[in-house]
Amino acid sequence: MSAIAFPAPDAGILARRNEIVAGLSALVAPSALITSDDERRPYETDALTAYRRMPLAVVLPSTTEEVAAVLRYCREQGVPVVPRGSGTSLSGGAIPQEDAVVIGVSKMNRIIEIDYANRVAKVQAGVTNLAVTGAVSAEGFFYAPDPSSQLACSIGGNIGMNSGGAHCLKYGVTTNNVLGAKMVMLDGSIVEVGGSHLDAPGYDLLGLINGSEGQLGIITEATVRILRTAEGARPVLFGFPTSEQAGSAVAAIIGAGIIPVAMEFMDKPAIEICEAFAKAGYPMDVEALLIIEVEGSDDEMDAQLARIVAIAREHGVTTVKESKSAMEAAAIWKGRKSAFGATGRIADYICMDGTIPTGQLPYVLRRMDEIVKGYGLRVANVFHAGDGNLHPLILYNCNDPVEAQKAEDAGMDILKLCVEVGGCLTGEHGVGIEKRDLMTYQFNPEDLAQQMRVRAVFDERWLLNPAKVFPLEGRIAA
C-alpha cells in the first residue's frame, strides 16, 4: 500500500546524517544510539506494517535528562523526532520518516514507587501496561486500561494514544486513570504535570497530553491510578441469532441500570476465527456473540447475571454459557484478546477503530458488510459494544497490491460512515498516519486550526512526530 503520503525528507538533514549521528553520540551512551541498517530496521514501522520508513537514527535513552539532551539537540539542528514506546500502534503513530530521529523509551522500564494507601503507582514510560498490573497484583490491585496489546505496549505509548481496552465501560480509558506525568518539552525543559493528587491546577494539560500522539513532548514518567481488584470476575457468553438482537440486548442492559465491567461483541466470522485459534468454547451456531463480564462476590455475580440473562432472553438469546472455572474464563478472554493475532493467521487484515452511537449499531453493521462486499472482500467484527467502539477487521492478501488498496479504501469508507452516524474516526487507536487525511471529514477548518494552534505552543516548527494526526496540507505553525 502506498496511499498515505509522508512529508518529503529534508535533503539537507539526510546529507548531514554523519554529523547528526556524531552529535547524538556525544549526548548518550554508545549502547543507546542505533545507527546501523540492520539494527535500525525494527524501528522502520509499528503495528501498521504496510508502511515503513528507515529513520535517520534511533536513540534509546535511560534517563529523562538524556531525553532532554537529545530533544534539545534535535531542535537546535531542526531534525524531526518520532517518539516511540513499544511500537504497537495500529494507526502508524510510531512510524518514523527518513529525516527523523526515533527516541524510544523502552529502556526506561522501572516501576519507581507504589503507594497502596493512596492507590497510585509511579512508573517510567517504557514500563509495559501489563507490568504495572503485574507489580501490584500480589497486593490485590490492578491498572485498569487494558488494550489488547497490553503484554507489549508501554505506558508512555498508552498516554500518547489515550488507549482504552475491553474494560473501560466501567473503568474509563487512559486519560481517566493517569494522575501525573513527567514530560520533556522540545526545548529540553522538563515539566511535571499533576502528581499523586487529583485535578492539577491551571489548564488541564494532563488531559491535553493524553492522546496527543507524541506531538507535544516526550513522556518519561507517569503516576497512574491503581484499583483494588474485584473479589471475582466472570465472563459469560451470550449467543444471538442476529446482530440486531445482540445490539438491542446491549441497549436494554444499560437501560436497566446495569453497567457490566465489559460487553464485547463478535460476529460470526470473528467467532470462527477466534474459536479456531483459542478453543474457548464459543458457540458456532449463532450469528453474534456477546462476552459480558460481571464482577463482585459469587452471590453478587449470580444476582447481576440473573438480571442480564433475563434481559438477554427477552431479546432472543439462544445460548448462555457461563465460565465454570478460572481456566474457562481465561480462555474466553484469550479468544477475544487474540482476535487480531488469530485473524493474522488466516489472512492479512487491517483493523479499523471508529466509534458510533450504539443506537446506530444494526444500521452500521449492515452498511459495513455492504461496503466491504462492494470491494469484493470479507470483514470480521469484534468490538466494545457498551461504548460503540468498532473494530472491523478487513481481510485481504497483502501480496496483491490491488486488493490491498481496496482494503484500505473500504476502511476509509467505514470510518466516514462512523462520522456520518454521529461517531468519530478513532475510539482508541489514535489518528496516526492512518486516519490523518480523514480529519477534515470529522472537523471543519476552525476546529482543526484551533487544535493546530495549541500544538504550535509546544512545537512551532512541527518537529515532533510531524507526519501524524493533521493533514499535510494547510498546517498552522502559530
Partner 1 sequence: MTIHTPTTEAQACAVVKSVIDSATPLSIRGGGTRAGLGRPAQAESTISSAGLTGITLYEPAEMVIAARAGTPLALVQETLSERGQMLPFEPMDHRALFGSEGDPTIGAVAACNISGPRRINAGAARDSLIGIRMVNGRGELVKSGGRVMKNVTGLDLVKLVSGSHGTLGFLTEVTFRVLPRPERLVTLQWSGLSDEQGVALLSKALGSPFEPMAAAHLPAGLVGDQAHTLLRLENFSDSIEYRAGELALLLGEFGLPERFEGETPAELWNLIRDAAFFAGTDEAVWRLSLAPTNGPKAVATITRSLPGARWFYDWGGGLVWLAVPPEGDAGAAAVRDALRPLGGHATLVRAPDAVRAIVNVFQPLAEPLMRVTVGIKKSFDPAGILEPGRMYAGI
- C-beta of 35 vs 176, nearer to partner 1: 176
Task: Write the binding mask 404 to 423 for partner 1: x where contact by CB under 8 A, - elsewhere.
Answer: ------------------xx
- C-beta of 104 vs 427, nearer to partner 1: 427
The candidate with the shortest Cα–Cα distance to 340, out of 49, 13, 45, is 49
Residue with cell 500500500: 1
129 near partner 1, rule: CB under 8 A: no
Which of 39, 49, 285, 297 binds partner 1 (CB under 8 A)? It is 297
- C-beta of 187 vs 285, nearer to partner 1: 187
Which of 124, 355, 381, 465 binds partner 1 (CB under 8 A)? It is 355
- C-beta of 175 vs 323, nearer to partner 1: 175
Q: Which amino acid is at 127?
A: V
- Using CB under 8 A as the binding rule, the residues of this chain from 173 to 232 that contact partner 1 are 173, 175-176, 185, 189-193, 195-208, 210-212, 215, 228-231
Beta bridge partners of 222: 123, 181
Least distance to partner 1, CB of residue 74, Å: 18
Which of 428, 434, 463, 464 binds partner 1 (CB under 8 A)? It is 428
Binding window for partner 1 (CB under 8 A); candidates: 48-56, 69-77, 321-329, 429-437: 429-437
The candidate with the shortest Cα–Cα distance to 105, out of 83, 79, 133, 132, is 83
Question: What number of chain residues touch partner 1 (CB under 8 A)?
Answer: 95
387 near partner 1, rule: CB under 8 A: yes
Joined grid coordinates for residue 470: 493533521
Task: Write the binding mask 86 to 125 for partner 1: x where contact by CB under 8 A, - elsewhere.
Answer: -----------------------------xxxxxx-----
Q: Which amino acid is at 83?
A: P
- C-beta of 33 vs 312, nearer to partner 1: 312
Task: Write the binding mask 367 to 386 for partner 1: x where contact by CB under 8 A, - elsewhere.
Answer: -----------------x--
- C-beta of 76 vs 447, nearer to partner 1: 447
Which of 60, 429, 433, 434 binds partner 1 (CB under 8 A)? It is 429
Residues 6+ apart with CB under 8 A from 40: 34, 54, 55, 57, 58
38 near partner 1, rule: CB under 8 A: no
- C-beta of 328 vs 387, nearer to partner 1: 387
